[in-house]
Structure 1
Amino acid sequence: MAIPKQESLPNSPIFDKNRSGFNPQTGIYHSLHHLPKHHIIPSHPNLNTATYVLSQFPPPEQAETKVALIYSATYYRLTYSQLYKSITSLAAGLYHGLGVRKGDVVFILSPNSLLYPTICLAVLTIGAVITTANPLHTEGEINKQVHDSGAKLAISCPEQIHKLYSTGVPILLTSKEDSNQLSVEELIQNCQALEIPEVKSIQSDIAAILYSSGTTGTSKGVVLTHSNFISVFRLLKWSVDVSKAYDDVLLCFIPLFHIYGLVFFGLGLFSLGNTIVLMERYDFKGMLEAIQNHKVSNIPAVPPVILGLVKHGGGGYDLSSLRRVGSGAAPLSKEVVDGFRKKFPWVELRPGYGLTESCGAATFFASDAEAKARPASSARLLPGFSAKVVDIETGLALPPYREGELWLKSPTVMKEYLGNEEATAATIDSDRWLKTGDLCYFDDEGYIYIVDRIKELIKHNGYQVAPAELEAILTGHPDILDAAVIPLEDEEAGQIPLAYVVRAAGAKLTEDQIIQFVANQAAPYKKIRRVSFISAIPRSAAGKILRRQLIVQCKQQQPSKL
């Protein structure tokens, strides 16, 4: 959607704040949605994530038969009653058997599994803190996160355990396999009779440390509290009520270690009594089979998945049960949205926006009609959210249709970056405004449009890739003098990392050699996909890489799509 030119706006700069949510006196946009009293977070100080979620489970007579989880590949089902017993047994085992205490950090390294939600909720039940990692990460990346988070215990699937030996942290396997190592399965089986002592975790206590590259630089630990999570769960319940999305069967192929997967499928949806069909990892055919075989009605997805549905349709599978598809992690183009609605006219498509630093929440479409009317928008602010659009040059708050950096404030905003006062101060100001690093504008009815990323992150298939991290690897090569990494637009992945490299004099380094060099030191999704050789990296007087110049240069060198 094109932004109206300044001269086409009303002569008066005053916008109706009842329609736009914008207050010209303060420069603040307020949510046009209001949270009913029964959705407001209870003020009880001892309320924490686990006690809240478990208190919302179906009553015992329903929990015996109500299915909480289905493993897509095997059809194995876990009822809410079984899930509850697994959580409490594992919590008792962690406390009595392994000595995990309130405030201890537990590192989780596993792909999606039926045990993942049990592990998360059990850890939180005893007041410990979860930190999650991508199984694709290298041993070095995992070692760094374990020590940065201060983890006292690691829980790992058997296939990844070798990456943890160098950390020196005790390891608990998810399943027994052929190892003599203690497993989660054993603790659940052997600790059912043990009682969990009362642990007084309060809402301001830390619940999770999730690693994100933030607005710039290398990965940082996003500190999320119990209050952050509970705030999101209450918004999730509100969204279900306004959408009339009761008793949905949801498909999860999103990684549970990611904020999007964790908030929805690892924790929050169990407070609504939903049934979740779980895939270990995403594959397009497997997703279609799961929708057909399990009568899935709702998919929270990411843009590459939606693009696949647009390009390939249902592939001959029966997708008639599908009613809703959400989209997050990156913006959807208008072309993809229009293509999806044309191919699946009976399915509601609800794009949204959120960050790890806002506990995955920020905006929401309350109806499909709203989403259809504004295909380029990322919806309106959720209840309890406020926003500013801040001019990048002047720091002034801007009215509707003016582009600037999006700042957010809500009960879901993170506490801090772990042990990093400088990064925290650069991201959260003294009034607790979260600077997102995203360029946006609001229209005169309170809908937000994400225009571009000010921050330097590359979004590859929904993952965040920090250029600084790849540049550090590249410049570690003896034949590379300097390097800069920028995003290159890609239809399938959204963006791919492209490296501009300055070779040492006389060096014969090739593109393939550079790509392999980085691949040996970084997770697969972080890999350099393209290399361009350059005589010098453009930098400011202060030495900062002028990425925008490289991005413009790259676009000029790309052949036209027309």
Structure 2
Amino acid sequence: MAIHAFYNIQRINRILGVGIRALNATLRPASTLTQSRIIKGSNGENIIMSPINDISYPETLLHEFVWHDSESYSNHIALECGINGKKYTYAQAKDATSYIGRSLRNIGLKKGDVVALVAPNYPDTVLGCLGILSGELVVTTMNPLYTADEMSRQLLKAKAKAVITAAEIVSTVLNATRSCLPPETPVIVIDDKTGPIPEGSIPFDDLITRGKSLPLINPSITCDDVAVLPFSSGTTGLPKAVMLTHRNLVSNIMMAQASSKIFRPTTSEYQDVVPAILPYFHIYGMNGVVNSRLAFGVKLITIPKFVPQTYLDILENHKATSLFLVPPIMLFLSNSPLVKKQHLEHVYTIMSGAAPLSESDIEPIYKKFNIDPNVLKCRQGYGLTESSPVAFIEEGKKLSSIGHNIANCQARLVDVTTQQDVSTSGQTGELWIRGPHIMKGYLDDEAATKATVTKEGWLKTGDIAYFDEDFDFYITDRLKELIKVKGYQVPPAELEALLRSHPDVEEAAVIGIPHARYGEVPKAFVVASKNKKPTEDDIKNFVKEKVSDYKELTGGVTFVNEIPKNASGKILRSKLKTSKP
């Protein structure tokens, strides 16, 4: 196996007592492309294989996998709060998640029940997620910045039976649960020292204390059972619950690890230090950073929110070695006068994802601090919630590229018009991907699942891409309607539905427009109701009261006589994007 940090797969097999699954594709080389990475599939598809050999991964549950080798570094710090210093060693963290799982079952939750996790990045947030899984329950992660209305919608869609939250936002959470869940629904509160824990709720620490005296849970689920339900809008429409199995998440961690080949292994004398600034409710923060790095023994410094000086102090004081970022933070490092060379003194790799970066966004870091690119590697990744999430990784050589598809991830480009496979470098098509990391489907939405994943298992990403002569991929456009604000997904359909509820609005359409700091921001086109004359501020304030700040209409409001649509009634967003203000 081309992965030094995973040690020995046979050893893991002995530890976990589980099977090992390898991806064995029934493919044959294309007769005219024998020397290339394009392989003919059984249906004649032009399948672009990863340059990394297929790897094996253990057939085990995610929480078991995270702690698979923790005995080797049991006294190393696993999780430490960057704000209050609360910390857990690997031994303490592993035991705590087991105790949490037992306690959750003891308070009446049953195997397969969904627990909502809505909290900023704290050590206890991570333990809560892995504890939910160890109780053979399912976790749905939720943005702690959501309003009560937004929370209520997700709680109902996910069929949540309990909630874990933090004191800072518990009042909003209680408003949400009281409006949509039975009054006896357990609400468990992390003590973040920001305020009291409400009467009637369960202190999070009690789960750990009580669980010590409760019996172990007899394993009765498999790696093909659903583990997490993050929400995504897919390529279009309103947010949907993405069913990710234990297999999806474990395989993706291994696939990405095998393909990056840069992270340093944990030893008795060395431990990578990763500031966990990316929100844990987002699949990138959860499985792309926290779960994957815990599985290999790193020290994670949790950061509940981005405050520039606080973040920089953590980089310097904790001697951070690896950074996982989104473009706004990358641009902050490049451009802010607050950032000094000592903040990056121990960093050897930076990975950016969730939204695209250009070469001109990355190069200033090297020039500003006179850093050798061979000493500090900046790279870019690509993925989706539906792919657990990582699908492509760039190795720091072509900074505007998303690089190559990772081990075990097959790719295709399909011409949008002809629906024929693309096999020529430089020619664009919709990017399709397949592998063990692709979601099981959308919860209770068979139509959306079928529209997104083919019967052969290909996930249609909704992104337009091409590959160059080295089979490095470049994203050029999106078929999908999602707006990406600071890496967060903003589905136009959600804002459009909200706008139509305004008494003075007859019809509305929302698009994303470029923004220097945020990547994109939402802009609304509104048709006013007959004899009504709402102002731009009326509309913007109406939305502001009901959504998280990144969904606000920062791009403004334009009043129009009609919304352009095609014959089937679909909004022609391309026309709105090219219309004059």
Task: Give the TM-score of the pair, scaled to structure 2.
Answer: 0.87
**In the alignment, is the contact (CA less than 8 A) between 1:21 and 1:445 conserved in 2?**
no
Q: Deviations over 1:485-521 (max 9, x none)?
A: 1111001000000011112343221111100111122
Mean CA deviation greater in 507-516 or 381-390: 507-516
AA in 2 matched with 1:149: A
**In the alignment, is the contact (CA less than 8 A) between 1:292 and 1:317 conserved in 2?**
no
**In the alignment, is the contact (CA less than 8 A) between 1:380 and 1:448 conserved in 2?**
yes
Q: How does 1:415-494 map to 2 (within 5 A)?
A: 415-494=440-519
User: In 2, Cα distance between the equivalents of 1:398 and 1:317?
Assistant: 44
User: In 1, Cα distance between the equivalents of 2:405 and 2:561?
Assistant: 46
AA in 2 matched with 1:361: V
Residue number in structure 2 paired with 1:348 = 377
Does residue 273 of the first structure (1) align with residue 297 of the second (2)? yes
How many aligned residue pairs are there?
Answer: 528
What is the CA distance between 1:19 and its match in structure 2? 5.0
User: In 2, Cα distance between the equivalents of 1:269 and 1:244?
Assistant: 11
Aligned pair partner of 1:192 in 195, 200, 212: 212
Secondary structure of 1:202's match? coil
User: In 1, Cα distance between the equivalents of 2:560 and 2:440?
Assistant: 41
Mean CA deviation greater in 419-428 or 279-288: 279-288
Change over 3 Å in CA distance of 1:268–1:427 after alignment to 2: same
Unaligned runs of 5+ in 2: 1-29
What is the CA distance between 1:386 and its match in structure 2? 0.7
Residue number in structure 2 paired with 1:535 = 561
Residue number in structure 1 paired with 2:22 = none
What is the CA distance between 1:307 and its match in structure 2? 1.1
Change over 3 Å in CA distance of 1:245–1:52 after alignment to 2: closer
What is the CA distance between 1:312 and its match in structure 2? 1.1
Q: Deviations over 1:244-282 (max 9, x none)?
A: 465321011111000011104442221101101111111
Change over 3 Å in CA distance of 1:351–1:147 after alignment to 2: same
**In the alignment, is the contact (CA less than 8 A) between 2:509 and 2:563 conserved in 1?**
yes
**In the alignment, is the contact (CA less than 8 A) between 2:234 and 2:240 conserved in 1?**
yes
Percent same amino acid among aligned pairs? 32
Secondary structure of 2:475's match? strand
Mean CA deviation greater in 290-299 or 170-179: 170-179
Secondary structure of 1:174's match? strand
Task: Give the TM-score of the pair, scaled to structure 1.
Answer: 0.90
Q: How does 1:48-447 map to 2 (within 5 A)?
A: 48-59=61-72, 62-63=73-74, 65-96=75-106, 98-158=107-167, 159-160=169-170, 161-162=173-174, 163-169=176-182, 170-175=185-190, 177-180=196-199, 181-239=201-259, 241-244=261-264, 247-312=271-336, 314-316=338-340, 318-319=342-343, 320-344=345-369, 345-346=371-372, 347-365=376-394, 367=395, 371-372=396-397, 374-399=398-423, 400-447=425-472
What is the CA distance between 1:237 and its match in structure 2? 3.4
Q: Deviations over 1:405-433 (max 9, x none)?
A: 10010100000010001101110011110
User: In 1, Cα distance between the equivalents of 2:558 and 2:162?
Assistant: 43
User: In 2, Cα distance between the equivalents of 1:475 and 1:143?
Assistant: 20
**In the alignment, is the contact (CA less than 8 A) between 1:330 and 1:462 conserved in 2?**
yes
Change over 3 Å in CA distance of 1:333–1:241 after alignment to 2: closer
Q: CA RMSD in A?
A: 2.0
What is the CA distance between 1:323 and its match in structure 2? 1.6
**In the alignment, is the contact (CA less than 8 A) between 2:509 and 2:524 conserved in 1?**
yes
What is the CA distance between 1:359 and its match in structure 2? 0.5
What is the CA distance between 1:316 and its match in structure 2? 4.0
Change over 3 Å in CA distance of 1:191–1:244 after alignment to 2: closer
AA in 1 matched with 2:135: I
**In the alignment, is the contact (CA less than 8 A) between 1:21 and 1:31 conserved in 2?**
no
AA in 1 matched with 2:430: E
**In the alignment, is the contact (CA less than 8 A) between 1:87 and 1:119 conserved in 2?**
yes
What is the CA distance between 1:104 and its match in structure 2? 0.9
What is the CA distance between 1:341 and its match in structure 2? 3.2
Q: Deviations over 1:279-306 (max 9, x none)?
A: 1111222211110010001111000111
**In the alignment, is the contact (CA less than 8 A) between 2:383 and 2:390 conserved in 1?**
yes
User: In 2, Cα distance between the equivalents of 1:20 and 1:71?
Assistant: 45
What is the CA distance between 1:541 and its match in structure 2? 1.4
Mean CA deviation greater in 187-196 or 275-284: 187-196
